[in-house]
A and B are shown apart, each in its own frame.
Chain A
Amino acid sequence: MSKNWVEIIAAAALLSVSVIPGVSAAQTLVDQYKGAKSSGLVGEKMDGYIGAVTQPSASIEALISAINIKRKDVYFKVAEQTRARPDEAAFTGGCTNIKNTKPGEFYQAPGGSWVQRTDAAPQLDSKCPQ
């Protein structure tokens, strides 16, 4: 193998090393979130955001705020498109998110307490579309 080839391979290796962490970091956040959700550490709140079901560790707290910041962006965009208020978009999202919970996952009931989703329909706020 010529020296040029060695250089090209080395450059390619460096490039892949510098690109992959960015991808895996993004996957890690989503993976962490999905994991925390299925293990009951985080649940769906009525306001459209996620919250800690039990006393959260620092990493879970960081995860919650990272996900909620992204969600806020989505809600704000929908609010802008529909000429509604961001909190209205977020609340409407909360109804959908709670409906979308899978059995075993947690959601916030109208009283404010955390409820584990069963096969039955979730308890929704009276303003949620039925």
Chain B
Amino acid sequence: MTEERLTADAKIANRQDMKRIMCIAIAAPALLASGGCVQVAAPDKPIEINLNIKIEQQVVLRIEGAVKDAIEENSEIF
């Protein structure tokens, strides 16, 4: 391979690299300008997190009396 040929190949490669760089340089600000950022809007409903924690029957039986008393004491809302 001659030296001339190698130089020509290198020129082509450089040109392609430059194209790529230019493309990124143009595209990045364009994306930012056109609302490329993530829009975060507050939800209109409260977020419900269902942890689905297991309820132990042992606990239910243990606290049943206290819960019943509290319900009776606040019967207007039960």
Residues of A within 8 A of B (CB): 30, 33, 67, 70-71, 74-75, 77-79, 81-82, 84-85, 87-89, 91-93, 95-97, 100, 126-129
Interface residues on B, range: 20 to 34
The 3 A-B residue pairs whose C-beta atoms are closest, nearest first, are A82-B63, A92-B67, A127-B57
CB-CB contacts below 8 Å: B1-36 with A: none
Q: Smallest Cβ distance from B54 to chain A, in angstroms?
A: 9
- Please tell me if the beta carbons of B55 and A129 are within 8 angstroms of each other in the complex: no
Residues of B within 8 A of A (CB): 51, 53, 55-57, 59-64, 66-68, 70-71, 74, 76-78
- Please tell me if the beta carbons of A100 and B78 are within 8 angstroms of each other in the complex: yes
**With a CB–CB cut-off of 8 A, which chain B residues contact A127?**
55-57, 60
CA distance A35 to B24 in the complex (A): 66
CA distance A79 to B67 in the complex (A): 9
- Please tell me if the beta carbons of A84 and B70 are within 8 angstroms of each other in the complex: no
- Please tell me if the beta carbons of B77 and A30 are within 8 angstroms of each other in the complex: yes
Which of the residues B55, B59, B77 comes within 8 Å of A74, measured between beta carbons? Answer: B77
CA distance A128 to B56 in the complex (A): 10
CA distance A126 to B57 in the complex (A): 9
**With a CB–CB cut-off of 8 A, which chain A residues contact B64?**
92, 95-96, 129
- Please tell me if the beta carbons of B60 and A129 are within 8 angstroms of each other in the complex: yes
- Please tell me if the beta carbons of A91 and B71 are within 8 angstroms of each other in the complex: no
Contacts A71-B78, A97-B78, A100-B78 given; indicate if A84 touches B68 (C-beta within 8 A): no
Which of the residues A71, A78, A128 comes within 8 Å of B63, measured between beta carbons? Answer: A78
Of residues A75, A82, A128, which shows the largest number of chain B Cβ atoms within 10 Å of its Cβ?
A82
